[in-house]
Amino acid sequence: MSKNARILVTGAGGFIGHHLVKRLRTEGNWVRGVDLKAPEYEATDANEFEILDLRHFDHALLAGRGGIDQVYNLAADMGGIGFITAKHAEIARNNILINAHMLEASRLQSVKRFLFSSSACVYAQSKQNDADVTPLREEDAYPADPEPGYGWEKLYTEQLCSYYRQDYRFETRVVRFHNVYGPLGTYEGGREKAPAAICRKVALARNHGCIEIW
């Protein structure tokens, strides 16, 4: 990560984005955070925090104004496996709009580097059916067989980043996150990950009671 850079973090109201803003600020960077909502559990450390809807291109342009050097594009409509398997069309539509708009807005505004947050959901499902699965490699996303909806849009945006790099010489990077959770993460409402949901159920269970794990 650079120091003394002007950085935009989209999805800065979410779990990963909120912690990333903290890290970037401690390294001496100026940070603008953007999201549909503010962080849930504590105030942001961002120099500026703006509520914007990146499904709209004019909002994406507004987010990247002012000589931004780097964009960390973490904004996404997402949640735990129950959430992403119930809303294929809505999630795919929202995230494709966010990602396409942020790529183009960043290119037009001469951002130097763009990072896209992908997901382990891009990996071929056929290679994850055995409980004794071998560790996945980067190339195991192909032949393509990702998670329906969320996984497909993530895999497509990875390709879109490569097209922007090839056609425009725009420096793009991709990271694939796996089931990330921890302090200040969502733990209720349907978007939480399984470990957080189980912890919540255990904490709220009566003595000698049972919890539902599915």
Return the active site residues. 150
Helix 150-168, helix 88-108: angle, nearest 10: 20
Rounded distance, CA 192 to CA 153, Å?
20
Q: CA quadruple 71, 170, 174, 158: dihedral positive or negative?
A: positive
Residue 50 sits at φ, ψ, to 5 deg, of -130, 140
DSSP 94-106: HHHHHHHHHHHHH
Residues sharing a CB contact under 8 Å with residue 41, sequence separation 6 or more, in sequence order: 184
Alpha-carbon distance 162 to 158, whole Å?
A: 7
